[in-house]
Amino acid sequence: MIIVTGGAGFIGSNLIHQLNQAGVRDILVVDNLAPAPNLSGPKFLNLAGLDYSDYMDKREFRAALKSGSLEAARIRAILHQGACSNTLEDDGRYMMDNNFTYSKELLHFAAEYKVPFVYASTAAVYGASTAFNEAPANERPLNVYGYSKLVFDNYVRRLMPTFKSTVVGLRYFNVYGPREQHKGRMASVMHHFTRQLKETGVIRMFEGSGGYADGEQRRDFVFVNDLARINMFFGGLLPKSPRRPTHAIVNAGTGQARTFKAVAEALMSVHGPGKIEYIPFPGDLKNRYQHYTQADIAGLRAAGYTDPFTPLEEGVKQTFAPDQPA
């Protein structure tokens, strides 16, 4: 059995889809389907059409971890995508419980039973930095979300020499793809730009900020299917997966920053022509916004993952292909 936490979310549901494509169906999906004010739609829709063997609410799952009632011998890998990823969430107690304490519980379970453990970290740990390799000097989070992820990364770093099985943290950069209709404001710019283009014929993006001209802010946009494959690789679920335990915290991005204008152009090539309009930079994002990200993927390559990444234009085409969910 493979455990996917956050399995009804954006990345988790795409990961289950890719596991199904690889013939894997013995999957325990863990999530919290309670309504949340930051969501714009129900997450359960992401699970439609996916094949998995069981589902557990996150609270039930955490209780099972503590009680020892999970059948550890049957677990092939834990792919931990469950977290609060709202970068505007300021409740530090809630954020630390979801992103730090919950992750610690899973880590210790996986280490005790020697189960490969691959977890989602984030490029938000770099925050105000302009250098994006996995060095503590570059880790300067701008919000409690990034901070909570960094605290767990550092916890893993301290324990790394003791692990007997795979433990890999993946610092996701700007992820996009299908199945993010529920994410509200936290959805990718591909999702927001597409809605704007279809509804009004105009794509709105920020005026120049952070030293960048209008629409020239740059991000490392990574296609969600690529991240699914990286999870499967380190989880020991692909033919080319490492034969020995891997211990690493690495960036999961393409290594190539692209402008927001390039995103708009890629979308208009799929959905049809439109206009670009520049809007003032939001006050609530001041001092908590990354104007530029670009993954240094030397660590990822050194850890053994060598597959190429999907180019932005191709990823956009696949995201909005007729057979894809919203």
Residues with a known catalytic role? 145, 183
| Four-CA torsion 306, 19, 13, 302, nearest 10 degrees | -20
What are the two backbone dihedrals, phi and then psi, of residue 309, each rounded to the nearest 5 degrees?
Answer: -100, 150
Running DSSP on this structure, what letter comes out for residue 48?
Answer: T
Query: Which tokens belong to 281?
Result: 């930079």
Cβ neighbours of residue 87 closer than 8 Å, sequence gap 6 or more: 124, 143, 145, 146, 186, 288
Helix, strand, coil percent content, the chain, rounded in steps of 5: 40, 20, 40
| Among candidate residues 32, 52, 54, 28, the one with its CA nearest the CA of residue 43 | 32
Contact 134, 191 (CB under 8 A): no
Residue 113: strand pairing partners: none
What is the chain's alpha carbon radius of gyration, rounded to the nearest angstrom? 19
- Using alpha carbons, list the distances in angstroms from residue 59 to 33, 49, 111, 284: 11, 25, 21, 32
3-class DSSP state for residue 9?
Answer: coil
Pairing outcome for strands 54-57 and 77-80: unpaired
CA dist., res. 15 & res. 119, Å (int): 12
DSSP-derived secondary structure for 175-188: EE-SS-TT-GGGS-
Within 13 Å and on the Cβ side, how many CA atoms surround 58? 23
Query: Which tokens belong to 233?
Result: 């690789």
CA dist., res. 316 & res. 253, Å (int): 16
Q: Which residue has the tokens 């950069």?
A: 173
